[in-house]
Amino acid sequence: MTIRDIQRFSDIRYQARAYLCYLFTRNIKNGMPKPELEHILLQLDKIAHEVDSFQALYILDPKGEQVADNISPEPQFASGKGINRSSKSYFYRAVKEGRCVLTDPYPSALTNDLCVTAGFPLYDDKKRLCYVICIDISLEDILKIIKINKLDGIFGLFSKIIYTFFAAALGLVSAVVFFHGIEFFWLGGFSLAAMNMEEMFKATILLTLSLAIFDLVKTIFEEEVLGRSKKQESGSMHKTMVRFLGSIVIALAIESLMLVFKFAAKGETESIIYAVYLLGGVTFLLIGLSIYLRLVNKKKAKNDCSD
């Protein structure tokens, strides 16, 4: 197992959780008057024949104690009755959230290999917790179960190559803009007495845009080429978008200020209205950015609740 396998699991995590929870809900019904242990064991035996490969199926009582030995394709793993697992995340998360959960990869107590566990809380008709049903599957097997076909793999490689070229091209643009910004700064001079304010404004605008483009290149390369987990870098694309738009707003605001100085110096006071129009555009961009941030935060809050 490698870091890349964990990243692949992060990409298919929701599909894996949906699949395992579907197995539980299809075979074991919540809300029965009095769930019988023998009946649950029979249903788990059906699940064992549906899953291609797994390490163990087992049942915990409301206190986290295992009430029967594991159901496992490996005879040496068919044990565990009486073990208290109340400190395990798959137990207390299932109890706390009241729904089927899936853990992050962790070392299996049975094989020492990385595995994941799905926990499914079972309630009676009075909404009282009766059992938490669990299934352990190795990380390697869950990746095989929720597999990506060969065409997807080829397309993914093709996409990475395209994103690499775009990132390189944007990086070149960022470098060109940066050096032009330095050039304007140099032309502005380092002496306060001889400083050309217009050149300084232009340098500030170009350097700000160069930084925004570089930030965009960094995000594209990390997420689309290196394949860094979007879950771990939660909201990184949104942050990049905000920084990018913010840089544009700053550049336009500086440009409008530069126009005011320029028209005032030339005595063209009637032309200052164009700077006002530009400031109006900056205001609309700020309003749009505020709306975007609000929608992103609402979506993030909704996703956090659904997780």
pLDDT tens by residue, 269-278: 777 787 788 8
Cβ pair 125, 31 in contact under 8 A: yes
Does residue 141 carry a pLDDT above 50? yes
Using the predicted structure, report yes or no on whether residue 33 has a pLDDT greater than 70.
Answer: yes
Q: pLDDT value at position 145?
A: 84
Whether the per-residue pLDDT at 233 is higher than 70: the answer is no
Question: 46-55, 96-105, 150-159, 271-280 — which one is most confidently predicted on average?
Answer: 96-105
Q: State the SS3 of the chain.
A: CCHHHHHHHHHHHHHHHHHHHHHHHHHCCCCECCCCHHHHHHHHHHHHHHCCCCCEEEEECCCCEECCCCECCCHHHCCCCCCECCCCHHHHHHHHHCCCEECCCEECCCCCCEEEEEEEEEEECCCCEEEEEEEEEEHHHHHHHCCCCHHHHHHHHHHHHHHHHHHHHHHHHHHHHHHHHHHHHHHHCCCCCCCCHHHHHHHHHHHHHHHHHHHHHHHHHHHHHCCCCCCCCCCHHHHHHHHHHHHHHHHHHHHHHHHHHHHHHHCCHHHHHHHHHHHHHHHHHHHHHHHHHHHHHHHHHHHHHHC
What pTM did the predictor assign? 0.55
Confidence of residue 99 (pLDDT cuts 50, 70, 90): very high
Task: For residues 71-89, give the mean pLDDT.
Answer: 92
For residue 102, what are the β-bridge partners?
118
Identity of the residue numbered 66: Q
